[in-house]
Amino acid sequence: MSRVVIAMSGGVDSSVAAALLKEQGHDVIGIMLRLWSEPAAEQDDGVARVSENKCCSLESVYDAKRVAQKLDIPFYLLNVAEKFRETIVDFFYDEYTAGRTPNPCLRCNRYIRFTELLGHAQSLGAEYLATGHYVRVDTDPQTGERRLRKGADSLKDQSYVLHTLTQEQLRHALFPLGELTKPEVRLLAEKYGLAVARKPESQEICFVAQNDYRGFVKRYAHLRAEQEKETAAEPIPGQLPGPIYTTDGKYLGEHTGLAFYTVGQRKGLGITTAEPMHVLAIEADRNAIIVGPASALEKSDFVMHDVNFPRGSVFADTFTGFVKIRYKAPEMPAVIHPLPQNRAAVHLLQPARSITPGQAAVVYGGPDSSEVLCGGLIE
């Protein structure tokens, strides 16, 4: 059997993945990533507290260590806090202040888990890095290429957030939960006697306290200015008030900063109109928000950039597939036309609402439409 590093989080998924690998006879090493979290800040009661990163809180570290002890496997903490801040948190902040809506989990999987952690795993002599993601990887019997496919549990499938993986990364990746459902994983945790069997899971971004994006953007702007030994200007970038226009240029009022709006948003616009208005576009070049009726949100065409083909071979000709424009969005039939410089034009056969710049579009295909053909960020 092989030496395998399992990325542990203290949650039920990675814990069961570790147990399955141990049961299969692998030489398993558990590693938990120490990620960046906001420094101590004074709260309303006057006490300074650290805003813990939910992926590596003290409770999560304790839970992961207990699981490792139960399974009798080594457990280590790997500090990647600075790399995480520079690569993930800075990007998240910059995208929001530019009026885009990023998904930091995509970037974390690409640059932290399957780059930093995979490299560390290989330095320990491990052949594979395993995670608790609900996704499948297999080998095409004809070409020998590794295929990234949806997990068997359609409600938990996480192939969308792993579409950035390359052939080299897929050849060293294991996903023990790919054929399982969440209820089955919970039952296995009970069977193995893991204390985290009923632990709830968080759907929030790990480094944003209370899921408060607005507050985070404000705090992080000041923090970064302090680190760069500058004085944060007021208003902070991304929070500069600006005009709200209709598509025909009619002025409706002022927005409070591009960072606080996303395409499709209806509530909190601060304007009064005869019919409900939604954010149609965020124009950073003139610091403007464009609004219109819900019907105007529907679009059939968009372009994505930074396109990755997990198989490694780039499609040269136009092809068809099924596209997801958000993690929980339904798949829609589409025609994809590759463009130079890792870009692609996407034409949906039926228009969709809220195609949001900064989010990923992922294309599925194959005999059962379960394979990730490619994916990129919406322009």
Q: Which of 55, 56, 105, 108 is catalytic?
A: 108
For strand 3-7 and strand 27-34, is the pairing parallel, antiparallel, or unpaired? Answer: parallel
Classify residue 267 as left (phi > 0), alpha (psi -120 to 50) or beta: beta
Contact assessment for residue 134 and residue 12, using Cβ atoms and an 8 Å cutoff: no
Amino acid identity of residue 135, one-letter, is: V
Of 55, 105, 206, 374, catalytic: 206
DSSP 284: G
Q: Considering only CA atoms, which of 363, 354, 361 is closest in space to residue 377? A: 361
Q: Determine the Cα–Cα distance for residues 249 and 222; give it in Å rounded to an integer.
A: 34
206 is catalytic: yes
* CA–CA distances in Å: residue 259 to residues 92, 135, 216: 11, 32, 11
Contact of 376 with 324, CB cutoff 8 Å: no
- The per-residue b/e assignment along 336-347, b for 16 or more CB within 10 angstroms, e otherwise, is bebeeeebbebe
Q: Is 56 a catalytic residue?
A: no
At position 17, the amino acid (one-letter code) is A
**Contact present, 354 and 345 (Cβ < 8 Å):** no
The candidate with the shortest Cα–Cα distance to 63, out of 37, 30, 27, is: 30
Q: Which residues are known to be catalytic? A: 108, 206
